[in-house]
């Protein structure tokens, strides 16, 4: 009788855990002519991709969607709210390595992994007293950045199932504007096999942390984004130079290159009006802009890349566009 009760309890617990997962086929949400049309008037965040999967988060309903880029099927996760195993209070980021999706829960100080092939949770990585606020990944590892008075980086090797602080971790002091409650170092967080890159949202600057332990902190030049004064025949300036708005919406690394795509509001000579359909291409090794990419999207919100495609979320028309690289 006792063993029967145990079995029933396990079935109920398993049902409760996996009822968080729903799977759809590609007839519900799929790339049609390179586009996924999302439900309108909702809030979508944290677009991320690997060669096998694409994932995004919808904040109003607290659901994560993921699409298998090979067979087109789409799954949906609605995590249970709480502090227990595989329960999440607040999703603050997500990244993909191969078929695993990693969800950052900054309130519970943990990162939860989920196997999209099997539609099941796999592991939890607890960060202890450090609250990780930003998450990114290379092809093989997940990286988190925790901020207190300084920043410390963590890395997760999924094959070892553990989270470890990076020994020569980046110790950036930061300031906080108490009136606007904005962290100076808040912004897109990127990674490849050599570097961790923090791109600031409100300033034209970035930190590059060499995984061997060296740090570069530099501003990137905006002058070539600003049209020059125009002068009349008497040498009088006829219009002032346009300023660049520093608001950065997102950033992504171009695969197998030194190029960062910057989705920002700004102006160039070619695009004299505020244009949110273009991505600025910045070479972080040469420290210079090398071009712009016209996406055809009306209003870029979030971007992600894999080896073959650039994915762009149009936050005005609620759709994700797939562009071949």
Asked whether residue 157 carries a pLDDT value surpassing 50, the answer given is yes
Of the given ranges (79-83, 199-203, 271-275, 277-281), which has the lowest mean pLDDT? 271-275
pLDDT at 269: 55
CA distances from 231 to 224, 225, 228, 243, 268 (A): 18, 19, 9, 18, 18
Answer whether residue 163 is part of any domain: no
More confident residue, 175 or 187: 187
Of the given ranges (46-50, 69-73, 116-120, 243-247), which has the lowest mean pLDDT? 243-247
Split at pLDDT 50, 70, 90, the class of 85 is very high
d(CA 9, CA 199): 48
pLDDT tens profile 119-143 = 999 999 988 777 788 899 988 899 9
Q: What residues form DSSP beta bridges with 67?
A: 54, 74
CA distances from 307 to 254, 256, 263 (A): 8, 8, 19
Of the given ranges (201-210, 249-258, 282-291), which has the lowest mean pLDDT? 201-210
d(CA 312, CA 31): 12
pLDDT at 273: 60
Answer whether residue 211 is part of any domain: no
Concatenated DSSP letters for 269-307? SS--S--SSEEEEEETTTTEEEEEEE---SSEEEEEE-S
Answer whether residue 286 is part of any domain: yes
Contact between 93 and 46 under an 8 Å Cβ cutoff? The reply is: yes
Answer whether residue 147 is part of any domain: no
For the question of whether the overall pTM of this predicted structure is more than 0.75, the answer is: yes
**Enclosing domain of residue 282:** 220-325
Domain count, the chain: 1
pLDDT tens profile 298-318 = 889 999 999 999 999 999 999
Asked whether residue 231 carries a pLDDT value surpassing 80, the answer given is no
Asked whether residue 59 carries a pLDDT value surpassing 60, the answer given is yes
Answer whether residue 162 is part of any domain: no
Residue 110's SS3 state is strand
pLDDT at 134: 87
pLDDT at 267: 56
Q: Residue 58: which of 82, 78, 76, 42 has the closest Cα?
A: 42
Contact between 238 and 232 under an 8 Å Cβ cutoff? The reply is: yes
Answer whether residue 136 is part of any domain: no
pLDDT at 48: 96
Answer whether residue 44 is part of any domain: no
Q: Residue 324: which of 42, 11, 64, 33 has the closest Cα?
A: 33
CATH number of the domain residue 318 falls in: 2.40.10
Residue 36 has which token pair? 């996924």
d(CA 83, CA 86): 8
Answer whether residue 189 is part of any domain: no
């Amino acid at each position: 009788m006792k063993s029967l009760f145990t079995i029933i309890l396990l079935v109920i617990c398993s049902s409760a855990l996996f009822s968080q997962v729903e799977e759809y086929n590609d007839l519900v949400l799929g790339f049609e002519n390179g586009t996924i049309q999302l439900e309108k008037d909702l809030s979508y965040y944290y677009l991320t991709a690997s060669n096998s999967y694409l994932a995004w988060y919808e904040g109003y309903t607290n659901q994560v969607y993921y699409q298998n880029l090979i067979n087109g099927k789409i799954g949906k996760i609605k995590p249970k709210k709480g502090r227990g195993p595989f329960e999440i209070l607040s999703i603050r980021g997500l990244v993909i390595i191969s078929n695993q999706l990693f969800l950052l829960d900054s309130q519970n100080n943990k990162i939860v992994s989920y196997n999209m092939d099997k539609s099941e949770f796999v592991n939890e990585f607890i960060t202890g007293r450090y609250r990780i606020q930003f998450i990114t990944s290379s092809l093989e590892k997940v990286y988190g950045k925790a901020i207190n008075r300084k920043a410390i980086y963590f890395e997760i090797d999924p094959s070892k199932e553990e989270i470890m602080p990076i020994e020569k971790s980046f110790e950036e002091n930061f300031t906080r504007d108490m009136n606007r409650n904005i962290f100076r170092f808040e912004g897109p967080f990127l990674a490849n096999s050599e570097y961790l890159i923090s791109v600031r949202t409100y300033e034209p600057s970035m930190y590059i942390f060499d995984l061997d332990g060296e740090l570069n902190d530099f501003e990137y030049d905006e002058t070539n984004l600003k049209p020059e004064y125009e002068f009349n025949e008497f040498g009088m300036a006829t219009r002032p130079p346009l300023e660049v708005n520093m608001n950065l919406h997102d950033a992504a690394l171009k695969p197998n290159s030194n190029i960062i795509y910057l989705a920002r509001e700004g102006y160039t000579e070619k695009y004299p009006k505020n244009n949110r359909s273009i991505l600025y291409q910045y070479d972080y090794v040469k420290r210079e802009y090398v071009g712009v990419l016209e996406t055809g999207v009306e209003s870029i919100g979030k971007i992600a890349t894999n080896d073959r495609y650039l994915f762009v979320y149009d936050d005005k028309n609620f759709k994700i566009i797939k562009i071949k690289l």
